[in-house]
Structure formats: C-alpha cells, structure tokens
Structure 1
Amino acid sequence: MTDCIFYGGKGGVGKTTCAAATGRSLAAAGRETLVVSTDPAHSLADSLEADIGPEPTELEAPVAPDGDGTATASATDSDRAGGLWAVEIDPETQRERYEKLARALASDLRSAGISLSDEEVERLFATGAPAGSDEIAALDLLVEYVDSGRWDTVVFDTAPTGHTLRLFDMPDVMGLALETARSLRGQAKRIGNAAKTAVLGPMSMMTGESDDEAESLAVFQARLERARELLVDPERTEFRVVLTPESMAISETRRLVERLREAGVSVERLVVNRVLEDPHEGCPRCRSRQERHEERLAEIRSTFPDLEVVTLPDLEGEAQGRESLAAIADRLPT
C-alpha cells in the first residue's frame, strides 16, 4: 500500500523544504517516492533544483548514503533502488472536469423545463469552493496517485493553514453538494422522461440520453469519499505540522492540530523549523535569540505533550540547495 505524508502549517515556515527533504531521503532509502505540491504559490521546483510540471516528473534518484551518512557520487545502480518523482498541481488542468459536471446537470434540468443558467447551476457547487479549485484538484489527484500503486510513498507539500483546513473539509462539503445535485438531476430526468413518453409514446425510448454524465457525477463523489478514507487512515496517512519557534506560530498550530483531530486525521509529530542552535560567539543578540527559541521550544513541548517534537536548525546563510536538504533530511523521520 502507498503511504501518505502531509506537511502543513502557516505560510513561510518551510513546509516545501521539509517535503522535498523527506522525498529525497525516502528515495535514497529505496522507496519509490512522489513529492506533490498543492500550494498555488509553488516553490518545490526551487527546493529540488529541478524542472517540475503539472504531471509527475521523474528526477535523478538520490544516491544511497554511505555508512557515515554521506552520499557518494560513484554509487552503482544498485545503490539507487528508489526513485524520486515530483509534481506541482495545476488547478487549471482539472477545471474542465468540474465544469462538465455542472453542464451535465444543467442539461438535464433544462430537459425537464427548468430554466437555469450555467452560472446558477454552478452555485450548487459553491458550498465549499469554486469548481476547479486547488483543494478539489488536490483531493482528486491524491486518490489517483495513491491508488495507482506506482509509488511507495506520496509526500504532500500542502498549502498554508487556511487552505489546508479547506482541503480536509472538501470531501464532506462537496459530498453533500453532489448528493443534492444528483437528487435534482434524477428528479429532472424522471420529469423529462415522463414528458417525452407522453408526447412520443414508445418512440421516446429511442431518444434517451447517455448515462455518461450520471456516471461522472457518481464517480466524482466516490473519489471524494475515497479521499476521505485515505486522509483519516492512521495506518497510511500522517500529517506533520511545521512551525517556527514563535508565539503566533504556536497558537496557529494549536488550532490546526485541534481541527485535524476533529476531522479524524492522524497528527503524531510537530516539526519546529529554523531553531538557532549554535549562535556566533561574542554576539549577544544571537545568544538572546537562542534563549528565546529555547523558551518557545519548552512552550511547544508543554502545549503538545502527546506529540513528538522534531527540531530543525536555522541554516540561513550556511547551506543552500541540496546541502540544505541533506542537513534537514538527517533530522526528519522517514
């Protein structure tokens, strides 16, 4: 079975870096791994230093580490047991599918004599988010990537907190909207069929419409329900919340963890990024910052006593690109 790891939290805390580092570490350990960015403001390509598009792209597999934890450039093919893939979801690639659902419903309503514009019908889907939104595309592709069996692990770099909460709300919200739409569609179809029968008699059976649209509604709803199953399965999915050692970040993390748990999503650890561990000697300001970070870490552990707390060092100005990912990967569990 394919495992899922989600990295979530407020914007700018380092979710993308964590996802990219985890992906490289898993691939180096021999697992076929796909890293997915669902954030509209993509930066995954920059983190992985690779060209990434809206379709999964295979990258150069990370080299398996030596016993001392360092990678060797002369590793053989056997050292590259895993594969690293990445994709930046483009919501536009999904928009036509969701608009087709609204058009199919509008067609049946009109066939029953109910006059509605496309805009009015599409409002049925506005309970959660507009058709083709990044959240819906993320859930739809979550199912596609996981159920394909192509990868051992799918790592998600999610959008900032507000978008993340909407993503996890989406199966319930859209499920209700689609159930209503299907009910209306069924009523309209029965009215339309009755009218055709009254006018055309037995010949009405020869003018029936295809059930493709009805199947698309049912399939789409089933995929959302499947996404919900995956999201709340602790054996397959883990959500890691990333934050920085700041009071505001701690408060927002508390709300996010509570919301995720209310939704039945497994949260087992927090990742505290950009912790100053080795201040420059003779720098009172650096020392003061380190002490503040230590206080915030103590507060985090006190606030979340049941969660594992993983700390990542502040590498600003010390490492870039793959060096930075390697340093972070060493600290993150896989």
Structure 2
Amino acid sequence: MTKRFQPSSPNATPYLFFTGKGGVGKTSTACATAVTLADEGRQVLIVSTDPASNLQDVFEVEIGYETTLIPNVPGLSAINLDPEEAAAAYREKVVGPYKDKLPAPIIAQMEEQLSGACTVEIAAFDEFASILTNPERTNEYDHIIFDTAPTGHTLRLLQLPTAWSSFLEDSTHGASCLGPLSGLGEKKELYSEAVKALSNSEQTTLVLVSRPDASALQEANRAANELRQVGLTNQLLLINGKLQSYVEGDRVSTAFYQRQETALTNMPKQLTTLTMYELPYVPYQLTGIAALRTLFHDQQLEQRSEEICDIAENYVLKDVIKQVGTKKKGVIMTMGKGGVGKTTVAAAIAVGLAELGHSVHLTTTDPAAHLSYVLGKQVQGDLILSRIDPKAEVEAYKHEVLSKASGTVDENGLAYLEEDLKSPCTEEIAVFRAFADVVNKANDSFVVIDTAPTGHTLLLLDAAQAYHKELERASGEVPESVLKLLPRLRNKQETDVVIVTLPEATPVHEASRLQDDLARADITPSWWIVNQSFAASNTMDPVLKARSRSELKWIQVVSSGKANQVAVIPWQIELAKGYEQLKSLTK
C-alpha cells in the first residue's frame, strides 16, 4: 500500500518544487504542505510562478507581488509572481530598440516570437531565480515552496552557450519561439547559480504531482525524464486524488475506483522507481486553512449542503451538434489542455454530424490506436478518419528550418536552434500545416480537428508570412493551404471552435486563458463543453456526491461569464468506445 503523503520539516529540503500538468492539484498540495511545515514552527515562504495562479483562492486572502502574511498560520508567507508581466517587460526591452529601425512586419514577428509559453516560463524562471539566489531572502526562511517548476526544455535552453548571444535577436529561420532568452545576457551568472541550487539534492526536492489516471501519469513520466536529463534527480511522485473505496451498487464510484486502480497498475515503469506517496480523493474543496490542515489527516470537514440541479437536462451535447449541423460544411476545432477529453468530444461531434447525414472528416494527432479505440472498427455513415503523425510532421519541419540555418549560423547556434525547436509551439506549427492540407482537400464537408492551434501559433504563422513577404522570399515559407486557412478560421460562418474543460478550478482558468489567447487572433469560441461532470452523473457515492456540489460553482462560472454557449457531459461509467456508444453520448 502506498504511503500517505505527510510532509515534516526534519525530512524536507529547504526548497520544494511542485510540478505536474494542469488540474492535478499542484497548488492545493503545495499550500497544504506550506501550512503543515509552518504549523511545526518553521518559517515558510510559498511562491507561485503560474500565470493563472490561484494561491489567493486557496488561502482565501489577496496575495500580490509583495510578501503577504497568511492569517491564522504563524510563520507562513506567500508571493504571487507575475511571469506574464515579466515577459511583457523584457519583450519590450528586446523589441523596443528596433521599433524605429525595422519594418512593422518584422517587429510583429519578433513580438510574437516572444509571446509564447516558453517565453513566459523563462520569465517565471527569471523571477524565482532572483529569490533562489538572494541570500537575504533564503536565510529568512527554513523552507521555500515553489508552485510550478521549470521544464527540462527550459533548463536545457539556459545551459546552451548561444542562449546568451545576439543569435537570438537576429535569427530568421522559421516560425518558432526563437528568442525567449534575448536581452537576459547580464543574468547568465544568476541563472547558473539557480540551476546549481535546483540540481543540489540536499537543497531541492521536485514533487511530481499526478492524478491516478493514464494521461496525468504519462505527463509526470515525461517531466521526470526531462528533469533527470538535466541533473534534477531528487524527485518524488505524489498521487493526488485516489478514491479510497466505492459504494456497492453505485456504478459511477465503482467504475471510477477501478479506472484509477488500472491506471496505477499500468503506470510507466520509470515512475515506479521513484519514492511514491498518495493523497485521497476528498469530498471537499481545498480552499481555506481548515481544509488544507485536514488534507494530510483522516479528519472530516463539515460541508455546506447544496441541492444538485439536473445539469444533464440543462446543457446537452446534442445542442452543439444540432446548431453546427444547420450548416452544409465547415471546420470544427476542439481545444483544451491534455486530459480533458478532447478526442472523445471531437469523435462524438463527428459521429453526431454523420448521423445528421453530413459528410465528415475527423482528423487527429492522437496515436492511430487511440482513435481506433475510441471509434472502433465499424465506422458508419459518411465519416472519414485520418491521423496526423506529430512526430513525423515535427521532424520534417525541424529539418526544413535547420537546413535553412545551416549555412548561416555556427555550431553553437545550431545547437540552440535544435533545442528551441523542441518547444510546444514547434509541434503546433508543424501539425497545423498538416491540418491545413486536410482542410484544403475537404471543401464540401465538415472537418473536425481534434487538438487545434492556439492563438499564439496562429499569430506566429501570420507574422512569419508578413515577415517573409517583407524579405521578398515568401515562396515556400508558409504553405498556400495555411495562408487560405488562417482567414477561414476567423470566419464564424465557416469555423466553430469548441473549448473542452473540466468542472474544476485549474482547467477552467486554463481554458479561460486559451480563450483570451484566441481573442488575440480574432477567434471567438462558439461553445464550451464541460466534460466528465459528476454533478450530471447521478452518483450516490457520498464522496463523489459532495464533489458534485463543488462542481456547480465552476459550471456557473463557465455558463455565466466565460462561454457564449455551454454543454455538459456526465462522467461516463464506460469509456466512450465505438460508434454506437459515441452516438448515444450525443443523445
């Protein structure tokens, strides 16, 4: 049996980094750890570098850039760093000097290259490096806890010599995120000291937080491997949200319990080599000091009773399909963070449209086996499936960019460029070009795209096109299919963007950020779909029913302030598998 996570000061290193994919409970477990260590009489600082930080929601007190004392927890302080603001500041620092010297399209591309997730993450690193390497700050606290850690990709970029050269400012070799370290050359020593502290196992522990489900465990394994490669080996795995038991006769809780058990049994082998801890799936929201103190102990927390309305009747998936199906053709893009169920939703929409008699082409970047698993072998109606291999598309795009650069940059420059091309934006761009080819060939049908590009990627491609036109070498730089598709995606008559999320704090915050990002590219989502809702499942399990009540808040946040239109999909007892089951999901 896995040990319950119970942090204690004598066993904890001075620096604790909590990392994991969105929605796994990084912030809540980091906050609960901070409270526990402070309750032992230690001086503790918790720092969030997450652009969508919800430290203030968890502690129920306003927290800003200045150190804030947490009421009723002597010895505990918190800071909300703002990497978005930091990114904006050094974006201006890098681009500003060129604004009067270079044409507008080139400035636009430079600015967009510095607007991606990689730039924000390095800006976050800049912020907490300043804390890690400040003796006055570090001597003041027994423990400093960081909510979100840098990825291996970011750390590898920081360790490359060319990261500190002018190569970043004048490279013109493709629509990637080149330049996230531009203008930070004077901080090389600061960053080097921060990386040393991170790599010191006596000083730092990386807590890999995961849910007991296959998607989150795969992401934890990827992060563990990436961080191990750059020398961060002092890792432990924290499985958060494990249902401890199920109610006999309640099909929802039985299926949920068994699905978690299967995921843990089949977790990646490398994860099993880590010291592993567990936290239970609790029936209450982890907000407020009382709830945080309860998490590590077998105690009950008094819950407010709320009536659960029949959500399943109010927001239904068939309304999405009915509305979209009034058109003769179009593009439907499902978007959202990993693990929210984009593939299932995309497949269900495709099946629903096919059942209305439309010709539908469903394309995905998920492995072919997964799409086959979701849809089964017997595809009915006028439904065509295709699969884009992101690995092959990325390799082709990287080869194209590196070939153009090989004659103009030195060995160090190529090494940096190769690492930069491992960023998430590169995959989005490469895959989007393949999506564009599919859409270009299907002008008389619906094309459903599972996993679509962010607003940043679309703007990056747009800026690159304007930039290459400026240099009079547009031919071959941005494919014709991409040029035609960008305006099409902005046309509400031709394209419907569907954001998929879960009825929880972090997924809703992340979906909101995604919507803001799309707004920069003049794209407005048609629908939000709240997936895997226990509130819509009619479960009788006391733990899951209590969690159902907490979902109502987030469904209300989505329906009243975020989305134009909303649909809610109940948590499915059986994984949606096969054409007939997907069809029933749309009813």
In 2, Cα distance between equivalents of 1:24 and 1:133: 31
Summarize the Cα distance change of 1:168–1:123 in structure 2 as closer, same or farther, 3 Å threshold. farther
Kindly indicate whether the alpha-carbon contact (under 8 Å) linking 1:238 and 1:268 is maintained by their aligned counterparts in 2.
yes
3-state secondary structure, aligned to 1:305? helix
Summarize the Cα distance change of 1:133–1:151 in structure 2 as closer, same or farther, 3 Å threshold. farther
Alpha-carbon displacement from aligned partner over 1:261-296 (angstroms, at most 9, x marks no partner): 112112431111111003235434323432332333
Give the match for residue 264 of structure 1: 231
Structure 2 unaligned residues grouped into runs of 5+: 1-12, 171-182, 299-587
Amino acid at match of 2:28: T
Give the match for residue 16 of structure 1: 27
Query: What is the 5 A alignment of 1:170-209?
Result: 170-172=157-159, 176-180=162-166
Deviation for aligned residue 1:308: 1.3
In 2, Cα distance between equivalents of 1:181 and 1:122: 18
In 2, Cα distance between equivalents of 1:122 and 1:177: 22
Alpha-carbon displacement from aligned partner over 1:63-92 (angstroms, at most 9, x marks no partner): xxxxxxxxxxxxxxxxx4xx1111221135
3-state secondary structure, aligned to 1:87? strand
In 1, Cα distance between equivalents of 2:84 and 2:28: 25
Deviation for aligned residue 1:140: 2.0
Summarize the Cα distance change of 1:118–1:141 in structure 2 as closer, same or farther, 3 Å threshold. farther
Pick the aligned partner of 1:87 from 54, 79, 86.
79
Give the match for residue 295 of structure 2: 328
In 2, Cα distance between equivalents of 1:57 and 1:243: 28
Higher relative contact order (CA 8 A, sep 6+): 1
Pick the aligned partner of 1:33 from 44, 48, 55.
44
Summarize the Cα distance change of 1:320–1:282 in structure 2 as closer, same or farther, 3 Å threshold. farther
Correspondence 1:4 to 2:44: no
Query: What is the 5 A alignment of 1:221-240?
Result: 221-240=188-207
3-state secondary structure, aligned to 1:300? coil
Give the match for residue 136 of structure 1: 122
Amino acid at match of 2:50: D
3-state secondary structure, aligned to 2:256? helix
Amino acid at match of 2:94: A
Kindly indicate whether the alpha-carbon contact (under 8 Å) linking 1:98 and 1:131 is maintained by their aligned counterparts in 2.
no
39-48 vs 289-298, greater mean Cα deviation:
289-298
Give the match for residue 210 of structure 2: 243
TM-score of the superposed pair, with normalisation by structure 1: 0.67
In 2, Cα distance between equivalents of 1:121 and 1:230: 37
Amino acid at match of 2:232: V
Give the match for residue 300 of structure 1: 267
Structure 1 unaligned residues grouped into runs of 5+: 63-79, 185-215
RMSD between aligned residues: 3.7
Kindly indicate whether the alpha-carbon contact (under 8 Å) linking 1:49 and 1:321 is maintained by their aligned counterparts in 2.
yes
Pick the aligned partner of 2:142 from 136, 146, 152.
152
Summarize the Cα distance change of 1:152–1:14 in structure 2 as closer, same or farther, 3 Å threshold. same
Summarize the Cα distance change of 1:243–1:178 in structure 2 as closer, same or farther, 3 Å threshold. same
Amino acid at match of 1:171: L
3-state secondary structure, aligned to 1:60? coil
Give the match for residue 192 of structure 1: none
Name the count of aligned residue pairs: 270
Alpha-carbon displacement from aligned partner over 1:166-220 (angstroms, at most 9, x marks no partner): 54345236x6332346999xxxxxxxxxxxxxxxxxxxxxxxxxxxxxxx96532
Alpha-carbon displacement from aligned partner over 1:205-238 (angstroms, at most 9, x marks no partner): xxxxxxxxxxx96532222222222222222111
Summarize the Cα distance change of 1:15–1:318 in structure 2 as closer, same or farther, 3 Å threshold. closer
Summarize the Cα distance change of 1:293–1:221 in structure 2 as closer, same or farther, 3 Å threshold. same
Summarize the Cα distance change of 1:312–1:99 in structure 2 as closer, same or farther, 3 Å threshold. same
Summarize the Cα distance change of 1:269–1:165 in structure 2 as closer, same or farther, 3 Å threshold. same
Summarize the Cα distance change of 1:223–1:283 in structure 2 as closer, same or farther, 3 Å threshold. same
Give the match for residue 210 of structure 1: none
Give the match for residue 69 of structure 1: none
Deviation for aligned residue 1:46: 0.8
Pick the aligned partner of 1:53 from 64, 89, 100.
64
Amino acid at match of 2:65: P
TM-score of the superposed pair, with normalisation by structure 2: 0.40
Kindly indicate whether the alpha-carbon contact (under 8 Å) linking 1:4 and 1:236 is maintained by their aligned counterparts in 2.
yes
Pick the aligned partner of 1:283 from 250, 255, 260.
250
Amino acid at match of 2:67: P
Summarize the Cα distance change of 1:97–1:290 in structure 2 as closer, same or farther, 3 Å threshold. closer
